[in-house]
Amino acid sequence: MDITFRQLQLFRALVTTGSVSGAAREADVTQPTASIHLRELAEEIGLPLYEVIGRTVHLTEAGRELAATARAVQDEWETFSQKVAALKGAERGKLRVAVVSTAKYFVPRLLGEFCAAHPGIDVALEVLNRDGVIARLRDNLDDLYVMSRPPTDLALEDRILLPNPLLLIAPKSHPLVRRKRIEIKALAGERFIFREEGSGTRLATDAFFKSQRFQPKVRLTLGSNEAIKEAVAGGLGLAVISSHALRHAPTPGLTVLDVVGFPVSSQWHIVYPSGRRLSPIAKIFEAHLVRHSAEIARALKT
């Protein structure tokens, strides 16, 4: 098949933007030109690659296979470009990182330090809920992913980065505040505010309470650590929350309860698909994360 790199770039832009017009803008060509190139690509392959339903692009099976191939080609080309830049004595290229929302309390700061040390690198950071990060991981859209509960149904390169202890918080006016070594059964009458189902914190929390044979009474389910902290401070209930969310964004009126079994053990992981070759820049950033993880872990203990 006689397929050009430009056609693959255009098709990748189509997948990313979800429209021919969006692909044309990203590739800096007119929409008619983009349509011609995409039609010629489909003709060369001999199968339809996508269909438009209600202005939304839906990939065919051949289109999904081509999208994966186009991403792999782009990744290999980016790696080659970075190696050539290194041979020339320069650091240039793009780093793509996706993290779950709670990791926003420490990853952006480390990313900022990395960019300051490597100013020639362009960075794309996606901060999403766990389901959003896993969707990007399945599609192999980024170089590295940071999350607390990696999926178990994917073949991954998985490296534990640092601890992510989960704490039980309450308003400072709560009657249990002054008690020590509180038994789980003492929480039977309490209402709880939980993270949304599927989040790493929720999965760890559910697993812990199940191991204790404790059934919490859920008052609210919220998708934001900040909303949860405000709800707890307002007296709506107790909550389990990452120590990172509590330390790096403190909320007045909160305290940590001394409950048996807490903090619940959890860890942050750096993951990427098995078989993916990390670009030179991604390797440098992974080493940067690991190098600074110890000081973050120490800060959590102070």
pLDDT tens, residue by residue, 205-257: 999 999 999 999 999 999 999 999 999 999 999 999 999 998 877 788 999 99
The tens digit of pLDDT for each residue in 132-153 reads 999 999 988 899 999 999 999 9
Q: Specify burial of residue 146 (Cβ count, 10 A radius: 0-12, 13-18, 19+).
A: buried
Tell me what pLDDT residue 90 has: 52
Strand pairing report for 50-53 and 56-59: antiparallel
Tell me what pLDDT residue 295 has: 79
Q: Which two tokens stand for residue 75?
A: 């990744």
> What domains are defined for the chain?
5-65 (1.10.10.10), 91-163+267-301 (3.40.190.10), 166-256 (3.40.190.10)
3-state secondary structure the chain: CCCCHHHHHHHHHHHHHCCHHHHHHHHCCCHHHHHHHHHHHHHHHCCCCEEEECCEEEECHHHHHHHHHHHHHHHHHHHHHHHHHHHCCCCCEEEEEEEEHHHHHCHHHHHHHHHHHCCCEEEEEEEECHHHHHHHHHCCCCCEEEECCCCCCCCEEEEEEEECCEEEEEECCCCCCCCCCECHHHHCCCEEEEECCCCHHHHHHHHHHHHCCCCCEEEEEECCHHHHHHHHHCCCCEEEEEHHHHHHCCCCCEEECCECCCCECCEEEEEEECCCCCCHHHHHHHHHHHHHHHHHHHHHHC
**CA–CA gap between residue 147 and residue 151 (Å, rounded):** 10
Compute the CA torsion angle 65, 68, 71, 77 (nearest 10 deg).
-80
**CA–CA gap between residue 139 and residue 106 (Å, rounded):** 25
Residues of the chain with confidence (pLDDT) below 50:
none
Q: Which amino acid is at 55?
A: R
